[in-house]
Amino acid sequence: MARENGIESRLKNLSMGEFGKLLAMRPQGKRVQESLDAHLRSLPPGGVLILDFDNVEMMDYSFADEALGTLYSRLSAKEYPDRYLVLLTDESEITQALLENVEVALNQREVAALVVPRSAFGKSRGAQESNGKVDWRIIGQLPEHLIETLSAVIDKEEVTVRDLVDALGLDSVTACNNRIARLHQLRLVRRKASIVPEGGRQYCYSSVLSSGEK
């Protein structure tokens, strides 16, 4: 992994173009899935695998479901503890067409993915901000109230459940807990435990789009 300021980076960039310009059918998707699985497992705790769609010209649904749909399902099933996956794209017609099949696969599996424009994401420093805001969007299945909660986490970079209750104007801590727990299950936010002065443990949640090296 690359090192920045003497700290091992937790971000790993990988081009899907390395697997070919034309990505089709489940057998090829299975081979790519196995490679991505190995990359995810090799990451340090808190690591993020950033998949770039550069140099890919075609991806059919069967490939997208086998390679990426299966992987996101496994992330949601906690097969990769404290590892995360982000999709890096541009606004070209080809790339947006590729994402359509990925989104159908994610919808079918009831999971979701963070998508960040290539122009807004640094190779080793995480997502770059424009006017104080990180540029991102979600594809797949994620209800609006969870997108709202995710947006609050990304905007604030690191929060507790109490912070989120206040930021979102919610009446129920339990409802907020349920929201953030689902986002963490989908690996759309990071979670770490800390000991509070009065005793006990408190969880803090942070953006996957940061380097995670605080």
46: in domain:
yes
Domain of residue 167, CATH code: 1.10.10.10
Tens of pLDDT along 20-44?
999 999 999 999 999 999 999 999 9
Domain annotation covers residue 212? no
DSSP count for the chain of H helices, then E strands: 7, 16
In 16-128, beta strands by DSSP E: 22-23, 47-52, 58-59, 83-89, 112-117, 121-122, 126-127
What pLDDT, on the 0 to 100 scale, is given for residue 135?
84
pLDDT of residue 118: 84
Domain membership flag for residue 22: yes
- Taking the C-alpha atoms of residue 89 and residue 200, their distance in angstroms, rounded to an integer, is 42
Burial 120-144 (b: 16+ CB within 10 A, else e): bbeeeebbeeeeeebbbebbbebee
With respect to residue 8, please indicate whether it lies within any of the assigned structural domains.
yes
Output the CA torsion sign for 75, 208, 19, 119: positive
Assess if residue 123 is contained within a domain. Answer: yes
Write out the two tokens for 45: 């705790």
**Using alpha carbons only, how large is the chain's radius of gyration in Å?**
17
Tokens describing residue 172: 């129920």
What is the tally of structural domains in the chain? 1
* pLDDT for 195: 72
Give the residues of the chain that fall short of pLDDT 70. Answer: 1-9, 120-134, 198-199, 211-214
The one-character DSSP state at 67 is: I
pLDDT in tens, 104-124: 999 999 999 999 998 766 544
Range of the domain at 142: 3-207
The count of C-alpha atoms lying within 13 angstroms of the C-alpha of 153, restricted to the half-sphere facing its C-beta, is: 27
Cα–Cα–Cα angle for 57, 60, 63, nearest 5°?
110
70 within a domain of the structure (yes/no):
yes
Q: How many residues does the chain have?
A: 214
Residue 195 lies in a domain: yes
